[in-house]
Amino acid sequence: MACTCGNLRPLTGAHLISCPEGYDNPRGYDQPQYDPCLGPLADPLSSLTCEMAKVADDIRQLYTYFGQRPYRAFSVVVEWSGGVVGRGTPKNIAEEELLPTPKTTLATVKEVMKSGGIVERGNIILTEISPRYTEDQVKQLFHCGAPLPENQEGFIEIRVDQRDGLTENRRFRVRDVPERVAWDFFWRVNLHKQELNPNRLGEPRDSATGKAVPGTHTPKWAR
């Protein structure tokens, strides 16, 4: 609905919108920069979208209860004993599960034959990540904010929820800047598949030998 108050928004500072001489906007003052009814949201936390964020999370939790979210997502930090990534023995030192369980599919991950065997490659999109995470928290969870120490590296691990027993744990890294999709009540993140997966117990593999290091990780479902 158009504004009918009849007032004009006062403009301060330099005018950033201008037209070439002789080609002025024929609408005169009927332009958005003069309209006092237009402007940013004064209190975003009081908006309906923010107030409904917990409701959206609760609804998505129902998908987990119904067994329709088999792919759990974990933020994992691996530390190498040699002082730099790739040197020494890797060990999982931290992990945090994203809740409620986000929505994803592995349909875009393909098996590729290499000289050393079959590896998985591809990209996936993680959606329906809780809108109650802040941007700083999302960047921390996906390891795309402040850099980790040089002997640590971060991944997102996708693990099946044990309905098929112990299955493959797949590691990914973030590809793009996380996006808040406000109109759908979630964050969306694009991820790129890493070739070296941990074993089925979640134990990281040595990058030189490809073998898992026993006792370096205890999955949450085994605790």
Predicted confidence at residue 8, as pLDDT, reads: 57
- Render pLDDT for 124-163 as a digit per residue (tens, 0 to 9): 999 999 999 999 999 999 999 889 999 999 999 999 988 8
| Residue 43 domain-assigned (yes or no) | no
- Total number of domains in the chain: 1
Tell me how far apart the alpha carbons of residues 90 and 77 are, in angstroms, rounded to a whole number: 10
| Residue 26 domain-assigned (yes or no) | no
State mean pLDDT over 41-68. 94
Three-state secondary structure call for residue 190: strand
Instruction: Provide the CA 181 distance to its chain's centre, in angstroms.
Output: 11
Three-state secondary structure call for residue 81: coil
Angle made by CA atoms 172, 144, 219, in degrees to the nearest 5: 45
Predicted confidence at residue 222, as pLDDT, reads: 40
| Residue 20 domain-assigned (yes or no) | no
| Residue 69 domain-assigned (yes or no) | yes
Tell me how far apart the alpha carbons of residues 95 and 79 are, in angstroms, rounded to a whole number: 12
| Domain boundaries, position 165 | 51-222
| Residue 11 domain-assigned (yes or no) | no
Q: Are strands 109-114 and 90-97 parallel, antiparallel or unpaired?
A: unpaired
Could you count the other beta carbons within 10 Å of the beta carbon of residue 139?
17
**Quick check: 190 pLDDT over 90?**
yes
Which helix (H) or strand (E) segment holds residue 137: the answer is: helix 135-141
Tell me how far apart the alpha carbons of residues 78 and 203 are, in angstroms, rounded to a whole number: 10
| Residue 7 domain-assigned (yes or no) | no
| Residue 22 domain-assigned (yes or no) | no
| Residue 86 domain-assigned (yes or no) | yes
